[in-house]
Amino acid sequence: MTDQKAYAVDDPTVIRLGRFLRNAPLKNGTPAQVPAGISELLAQAVCNYTQNLVWDHEGQRYVELQKWESLPDLEDVAVETIGDNEAVRMIHRGTGLSALGEDYDDAWKQLREKVAAHA
C-alpha cells in the first residue's frame, strides 16, 4: 500500500491530458485518435505513473510501480494441473517460487502474493 494520493479520473489534470490524447498530434502527421472514455483512463494511468503509482486490478488498489513491476506475468509462469483437475500448481520461472491452489485463480493469487513478498 502507498501513502501517495492517486489521481482520480475526474481530476482536472487527468481531464486536460485526456482531451489532449484524443487528438494528440503525432510526428507522422496524423492525430492520435484515442476514443473518448479510453483517453481519460489512459490519462489517469499516465498521471498516476508520474507519481510511481499503478492500478493493480487483481488487488483492486493502487500500488507502487516497483512492486507492480515485480509481480509475475502469465508468460513468466509455468502452470500444471494436478490429478483430475483437483489442483493447480504454478511456478514463477524468475524466482522458482511455486503455489498450489484449488483452482487457477487461487493458485495465481497465492503466487502473486509470494512473489511480491519476495521482491
d(CA 101, CA 4): 33
Residue-range domain boundaries for the chain: 12-69, 74-118
The dihedral sign for the CA sequence 28, 42, 55, 105: negative
- What pLDDT is attached to residue 60? 83
Per-residue pLDDT of the chain (119 residues; tens, 9 = 90+): 455 799 999 999 999 999 999 999 999 999 999 999 999 999 999 999 999 999 987 778 898 888 877 777 767 889 989 888 889 999 998 889 999 999 988 898 899 888 888 87
- The strand pairing partners of 55, in sequence order, are 62
Name the nearest CA neighbour of 119 among 70, 61, 63.
Answer: 70
Q: Whole-angstrom distance between the N-terminal and C-terminal Cα of the chain?
A: 14
